[in-house]
Chains A and B, each alone.
Chain A
């Protein structure tokens, strides 16, 4: 059971939340310009890092608000929570996470390069 800290309600059990997939996946500025493959990559391809990942969660049994959380996929530890619209907090200064966070940022770059028309995160 994960203990996730809602930005509004404080720490609550995982069962009160629902998962919303990876955060900061930019919607293509002009989806009609994408090839089928690029569209499929926008829809289905995620960074899947070993280490830190930014995810969307909704506190469905509590305040029913969406927020973002940075979670370590190795330890399941939730490192940070922040509100939707806020930038992903930089956690690179964590000594034990140096390798994994590099992997994570590389993968994120890889995802956004599949949308050549760019977008906003």
Chain B
């Protein structure tokens, strides 16, 4: 029964900025002073805490296929498959595309996917099958008797439906070293700000130096924008991802739309 409910949650889930989709499109500006704003909803985010250099860190590296970023501002991987953002000396955030959209998708949608987007979905389905198979073991370990002779593999069962999160969780379960893997996908939503004026918009409310001599593509930091804390991730020369906590998302989107207003008209000489 529960399986049936969980097989397709797409009609149930609702992104924090679903109501502002049209407004953000209207606020976007084209041209040489252009700047565009859109939400990228439901990205998969996994909070990982491991000591770099430990066996647990090695586990993460082998499951995700990416090295851990070594210091402040650094990112490994890319936006198309998976990326790991540095959050602290022993804290990392894994960000990957919304697998559910690719995995189940509306009927016929998978046919339209380009090849590079279909590949992770196939990998996802394999991992998802493994996740279902391991579920009985998880249930028995969580029982009052603590499971029969099973190794305590279900010590940290994840509620996540994302295959990568499930795989990570399995890899870390039973690990003796201190580590954790938590699905944080609902913690933050993602806004994408792009265009020639994107940096000028951000500079109105971000205390950091965002000039290319300091900040560049592949840099992600935790800082403030307007009045709230966000993750700021520059993914391309003129493209930025802004990740506020879900309850602050409307504030950030409206703040950005307001900051974008001036670029719709001619520059005042």
Asked if B89 contacts A63 (CB within 8 A), the reply is yes
The count of chain A contact residues (Cβ–Cβ below 8 Å) is 13
A13 within 8 A of B: yes
- For A62, the chain B residues whose CB sits under 8 A away are 221-223
The residue from B73, B91, B207 contacting A16, defined by CB atoms under 8 A apart: B207
Beta-carbon contact of B223 and A16 below 8 Å: yes
Check if B89 sits within 8 Å of A8, measured CB to CB: yes
B147 to chain A, nearest CB (A): 35
CB pair B72–A8 under 8 Å, yes or no, is: yes
- With an 8 A cutoff between CB atoms, is A85 at the interface? no
> How far does the alpha carbon of A16 sit from the alpha carbon of B206 in the complex, in Å?
11
Does A15 make an interface contact (CB < 8 A)?
Answer: yes
Bin chain B's interface residue count.
10 to 19
Q: Number of A-B pairs whose CB atoms are under 8 Å?
A: 36
Shortest beta-carbon distance from A24 to chain B in Å: 22
Knowing A12-B207, A16-B207 touch, does A61 contact B222 (C-beta < 8 A)?
Answer: yes
Provide the residues of chain B in CB contact with A60, threshold 8 Å: 229
Q: What residues of chain B lie closer than 8 Å to A61, measured between beta carbons?
A: 222-224, 229
Given contacts A15-B207, A16-B207, A61-B229, contact A8 B223 (CB under 8 A): no
Q: Is the CB of A8 within 8 A of B207?
A: no
Q: Does B136 contact A (CB under 8 A)?
A: no
A-B contact pairs, 22 of them (CB 8 A): A8-B88, A9-B72, A9-B73, A9-B222, A10-B72, A12-B208, A12-B223, A13-B207, A15-B207, A15-B224, A16-B223, A60-B229, A61-B223, A61-B229, A62-B223, A63-B72, A63-B91, A63-B222, A64-B88, A64-B222, A65-B88, A65-B89
Can you add 16 more A-B contacts, CB < 8 Å, to A9-B73, A12-B207, A12-B223? A8-B72, A9-B222, A10-B72, A15-B207, A15-B224, A16-B223, A60-B229, A62-B221, A62-B223, A63-B87, A63-B88, A63-B89, A63-B91, A64-B88, A64-B222, A65-B88
Question: Residues on B close to A: CB < 8 A?
Answer: 72-73, 87-89, 91, 207-208, 221-224, 229
Interface residues of A (CB under 8 A from B): 8-10, 12-13, 15-16, 60-65
